[in-house]
Amino acid sequence: MMGMKGKTFEMKDVWKVYTMKGVETNALRGVNLEIEKGEHAAILGPSGSGKSTLMHIMGCLDTPTKGRVLIDGKEVSQMNDNELAMIRREKIGFVFQAYNLIPGLTALENISLPMRFSGHGRSESQRRAKELLKKVGLGERTGHKPNELSGGEQQRVAIARSLVNDPEVILADEPTGNLDTKTGKEIMGLLESLHKKTGKTVIIVTHDTKIAKRTPWQIKMLDVSVVS
């Protein structure tokens, strides 16, 4: 783990342009952004404002059409596929609106899977997964499959999974989007306490002003640009 000083993300004049049938559509337009290590921030904007595209580029799930993206001072465009895969696997933990759990696997297996992909043994991966299930308040749910869990419980499993490789950054895309207000507040509380206890960089993507206001810093997006 690197020290807490410095910038996790730097984006310099980042554009994302899609071309379909000869028509160009901007998904991001000239974004400039710096996020320090240990920051807790929200990327806020209405549907279609470019916030998910921005998160995908930050998480190395997508590449910009032009512009520069640096993670820990290293230019993403100069990384090979293995380096990019390593960043996605070990430096960044992802939490999605739809939870993205594997239906046939138990909570324990879903959480331990990224560790197995990183080459860790089964018993070590399961030990870590059990520990994280306790941390997210689901110590009794190790053998439950996603369809036996409520939406809030599934999102807790997804958060535990995002932490299993001890990443420096958590990127959460509309993590409360499929949940009722009360459960959404609980999930936000969990992400907040995670940030306080670990000092990880936690970035929430949301269209909901109430959710965004719970973070110390809001990055506002409109018409595929960062406006403030």
The pLDDT confidence band at residue 151, using thresholds 50, 70 and 90, is: very high
Of 4 and 59, the one with more pLDDT = 59
Q: Please choose, from the candidates 3, 44, 33, the residue with its C-alpha nearest in 3D space to the C-alpha of residue 172.
A: 44
Mean pLDDT of 15-26: 91
Q: Please choose, from the candidates 173, 158, 159, 171, the residue with its C-alpha nearest in 3D space to the C-alpha of residue 206.
A: 173
In this structure, is residue 125 part of a structural domain?
yes
Phi/psi region, residue 21 (left: phi>0; alpha: psi -120 to 50; beta: rest), is left
In this structure, is residue 31 part of a structural domain?
yes
CA distances from 176 to 39, 154, 162 (A): 20, 11, 15
In this structure, is residue 1 part of a structural domain?
no
pLDDT one-digit tens code per residue, 27-40: 999 999 999 999 99
**Domain assignment of residue 55, given as a range:** 7-226
pLDDT at residue 1 greater than cutoff 70: no
Percent of residues, the chain, with pLDDT higher than 90: 57
The answer to whether 26 and 224 are in contact (CB under 8 A) is yes
In this structure, is residue 2 part of a structural domain?
no
> Is the whole model's pTM more than 0.85, yes or no?
yes
Pairwise CA distance, residues 134 & 136, whole Å = 5
Least confident of 2-6, 110-114, 212-216, 222-226: 2-6
Domain count, the chain: 1
CATH at 61: 3.40.50.300
Q: Please state the length of the chain.
A: 228
The pLDDT confidence band at residue 5, using thresholds 50, 70 and 90, is: low
Structure tokens at 122: 């089964």
Pairwise CA distance, residues 225 & 221, whole Å = 6
pLDDT at residue 4 greater than cutoff 80: no
